[in-house]
Amino acid sequence: MRDPAKLQGKYNEPTEVVQGDVLNRASLVAALDGVETAYYLVHLMASSPQFEQQDREAAENFAAAAKAAGLRRIIYLGGLGDDDDPTLSPHLRSRHEVGDIFRRSGVEVIEFRASVVVGSGSLSFDLIQSLTNRLPVMICPRWLATPTQPIAIEDMLRYLTAALDLPSSESRIFEVGGSEIVTYGNLIQEYARQRGLRRWLISVPILTPRLSSLWLGLVTPASAEVGRHLIEGLRNPTVVRNPDALQAFALRPMGIEQAIREALQPSDSAD
Can you give the pLDDT at residue 252?
96
Average pLDDT over residues 183-204: 90
Residue 175 structural domain: 4-264
User: What tens digit of pLDDT does each residue of 54-74 get?
Assistant: 999 999 999 999 999 999 999
Q: Is residue 115, in this structure, part of any structural domain at all?
A: yes
Can you give the pLDDT at residue 62?
96
User: What tens digit of pLDDT does each residue of 131-156 get?
Assistant: 788 888 877 777 778 899 999 999 99
- CATH number of the domain within which 97 lies: 3.40.50.720
| Ramachandran class of 34: left when φ > 0, alpha when ψ lies in -120 to 50, beta otherwise | left
pLDDT interval class at 8 (50, 70, 90): confident
The residue that leads in pLDDT, 256 or 200, is 256
Question: CA–CA separation, 187 vs 115, rounded Å?
Answer: 13
CB-CB contact of 31 with 23 (8 Å): no
Beta strands 137-140 and 151-152 are: unpaired
Total domain count for the chain?
1
The residue that leads in pLDDT, 268 or 185, is 185
Q: Is residue 71, in this structure, part of any structural domain at all?
A: yes
Q: Is residue 126, in this structure, part of any structural domain at all?
A: yes
Q: Is residue 270, in this structure, part of any structural domain at all?
A: no
Q: Is residue 69, in this structure, part of any structural domain at all?
A: yes
In one-letter notation, the amino acid at residue 13 is: E
Return the number of other C-beta atoms located less than 10 Å from residue 197's C-beta. Answer: 15
User: What tens digit of pLDDT does each residue of 167-178 get?
Assistant: 998 999 999 999
Tell me the percentage of the chain whose pLDDT exceeds 90: 53
Q: Is residue 226, in this structure, part of any structural domain at all?
A: yes
Q: Is residue 269, in this structure, part of any structural domain at all?
A: no
Q: Is residue 271, in this structure, part of any structural domain at all?
A: no
